[in-house]
């Protein structure tokens, strides 16, 4: 059972980690997407009450990755905060912990649709996208060809048929030229990689690295399943 999967994108050697992180060893870089800090408190304010521990759980996983890889650069590919006031709702202990992370290395927040700006007091710098060598990191993938693009936003998931069972897993998804990262946050849904919305980005035959129970599995198109059609109820 492997917890990492090595692959190449535009000639660069990368590692997909089962904890939903991308590692670029040559650059000592760790990239994650869609942390959605304080999503639970945002839903609570609207009357949908969820356990208020999503931010802390996400920080726990993030700290584990920082200890495992000790990257010099961390890229957060947008929607790190669920809304513009998420930083103000964070518990002071979580703020102190996150600030300790951001101040100890080159920390870059890429602007997302949920968080076009990040409070300066949380540390790090906010940019629209990052270009490093042949790779470009941004929040939302551009439609049409975009070689070397790495993005988040869509929270890709794979519906996989395995040993007679159908599993629904977060995943990395690629067409060999570009890459979608899985959502990192504790409270995040997902979009099937075979959804028509993703066809202009991934094509019809995406390659998937599915994440399940601390392991990562390379999955080909033949094992991927579309969402079942909802049949109308008979009245």
pLDDT of residue 85: 65
Alpha carbons 207 and 194: distance in angstroms, whole number: 11
Give CA–CA dist 163/160, Å, rounded.
10
Both tokens assigned to 194 = 């075979």
Which pLDDT score is estimated for 22? Answer: 98
- SS3 sequence, 158-186? EEEEECCEEEEEEEEEECCCCEECCECCC
Predicted pLDDT of residue 208: 95
- Residue 110, judged by CB atoms within 10 A of its CB (0-12, 13-18, 19+), counts as buried
pLDDT tens for each residue of the chain, 235 residues long: 799 999 999 999 999 999 999 999 999 999 999 998 876 565 555 565 566 668 889 999 999 999 999 999 999 998 888 676 666 778 889 999 999 999 999 999 999 987 778 888 889 999 999 999 999 999 999 988 899 999 999 999 999 877 777 888 999 999 999 999 999 987 677 899 999 999 999 999 999 999 998 999 998 888 898 877 544 443 3
Domain assignments of the chain as residue spans, ordered by start: 4-223
User: Which pLDDT score is estimated for 232?
Assistant: 43
Structural class in CATH, domain 4-223: alpha beta
CA-wise closest residue to 71 among 27, 8, 13, 136: 27
What pTM, to 2 d.p., does this model score? 0.90
């Amino acid at each position: 059972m492997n917890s990492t999967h090595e692959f190449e994108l535009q000639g660069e050697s990368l590692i997909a980690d089962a904890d939903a992180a991308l590692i670029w060893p040559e650059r000592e870089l760790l990239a994650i997407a869609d942390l959605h800090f304080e999503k639970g408190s945002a839903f609570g304010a609207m009357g949908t009450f969820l356990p208020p521990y999503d931010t802390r759980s996400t920080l726990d996983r993030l700290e584990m990755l920082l200890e495992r890889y000790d990257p010099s650069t961390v890229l957060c590919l947008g929607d790190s905060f669920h809304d513009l006031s998420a930083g103000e709702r964070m518990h002071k202990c979580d703020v102190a912990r996150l600030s300790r992370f951001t101040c100890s290395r080159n920390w870059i927040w890429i602007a997302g649709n949920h968080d076009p700006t990040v409070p300066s007091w949380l540390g790090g710098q906010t940019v629209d996208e990052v270009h490093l060598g042949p790779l470009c990191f941004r929040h939302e993938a551009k439609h049409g060809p975009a070689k070397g693009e790495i993005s988040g936003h869509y929270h890709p998931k794979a519906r996989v048929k395995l040993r007679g069972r159908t599993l629904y897993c977060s995943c990395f998804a690629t067409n060999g030229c570009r890459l979608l990262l899985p959502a990192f946050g504790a409270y995040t849904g997902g979009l099937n990689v075979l959804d028509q919305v993703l066809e202009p980005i991934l094509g019809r035959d995406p390659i998937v690295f599915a994440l399940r129970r601390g392991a990562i599995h390379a999955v080909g198109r033949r094992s991927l399943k579309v969402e079942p059609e909802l049949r109308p109820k008979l009245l």
